[in-house]
Amino acid sequence: MDESDFQDVLAAVREFVRERVVPLEAEIDEKDDVPASVRDACKSMGLYGFAIPEEFGGLGLPLSQEVRLVFELGYTTPALRSMFGTNNGIAGHVLIEGGTEQQKSEWLPKLASGEVTASFALTEADAGSDPSGLATTARRSPDGSAHWVLNGSKRYITNAPLADVFMVFARTNPDVPANRGISTFLVPRGTTGLTVGPKDHKMGQFGAWTADVYLDDVRVPESALIGGADGVDKGFVTAMRCLAHGRVHIAAMCVGMAERLVDESVSFAQTRQQGGHPIGTFQLIQGLIADSVTDYRAGHALVLAAAAAYDAGTDTSVGPSAAKYFASEMVGRVADRAVQVHGGSGYMRGVPVERFYRDARLFRIYEGTSQIQQVIIARGVLGRL
């Protein structure tokens, strides 16, 4: 997007986030729901398709612009970004990276407009960051018809309670290593045999819904196989590409949250009085804030660099993992310091830093734990010894 046009988008999103969403944060956290008016506004602003190519109705932002947009989205509750994050991120990118032209033309415009919400159904009870334990299976229908039959279950699937379509990863070849025997299937909600469990009750990120997904003899046609006939056993490669993009996106979310936490800490330190002085005059408080500002700025610079390298094709593995690893750990440190600066009030429900402290913890787990990122980074620079 032309930079001047992009600046207009950023300004509109910043105003929307800070003027309309921030005042609703406590309500969203308490009710575990995002108001319909906010959802509708996000659709009209094009937020459901900012990373989807223009030819399919999206804004077509490259990652270097996407992360700047996500910095703004990260300033408020993660529930906002979660509504459309899977459409733009790991679920939508399954189609962008691996879909046939027919699959793209049928589904991407619906994702971009917000008519359809997609879920990325990879994680299972015994297969999360490492898919080697993937137990969901897909077998060709024994009756000789051109169908696949899926059986298994998925866990912690984002947007599952409201998703219209699921990108389901299943083992199609049990006789080869996991990274060569997995395929991806597009399964619409309402398909016989697909059921969604109750919403998970999580530590934080209320308003961002996850749930288990169950597949019991789910029959889908050949056209549901992502990539068509060429997509058999290619699901792992597709998943890794989607996750690499998603990791930079999540890193940008962490940076946006860190900025908000710094702002909350600074504001509190300037106004909270102790001994007749603002606590910001105390050097130990200044030290906490200085560390958080430094962490935030380092994360901001790292994400921009990782996004630029990803767009250039010069680093699509180590860079995304390094950004996600550092930024997710960084925002946890900044959140912890923010609670400390606030003292007892930082431990009270209804105070933003308490909520963000709970929200931040998940970033170190999903889309690859910090430990998985360490492995990816080390192997990327050392090679497989």
Q: Which residues are marked as active site? A: 367
Nearest alpha-carbon partner for 97 in 316, 346, 301? 316
How far apart CA 67 and CA 86 sit, in angstroms, is 15
3-state SS track over the chain: CCHHHHHHHHHHHHHHHHHHHHHHHHHHHHHCCCCHHHHHHHHHCCHHHCCCCHHHCCCCCCHHHHHHHHHHHCCCCHHHHHHHHHHHCHHHHHHHHHCCHHHHHHHHHHHHHCCCCEEEECCECCECCCHHHCCCEEEECCCCCCEEEEEEEEEEEECCCCCCEEEEEEECCCCCCHHHCEEEEEEECCCCCEEECCCCCCCCCCCCCEEEEEEEEEEEEHHHECCHHHHCCCHHHHHHHHHHHHHHHHHHHHHHHHHHHHHHHHHHHHHCEECCEEHHHCHHHHHHHHHHHHHHHHHHHHHHHHHHHHHHCCCCCHHHHHHHHHHHHHHHHHHHHHHHHHHHHHHCCCCHHHHHHHHHHHHHCCCCCHHHHHHHHHHHHHCCC
Place of tokens 């550092």: 326
- Joined tokens for residue 381: 């620079």
How far apart CA 177 and CA 27 sit, in angstroms, is 47
How far apart CA 284 and CA 201 sit, in angstroms, is 37
Its sign, for the CA torsion 232, 237, 239, 241, is: negative
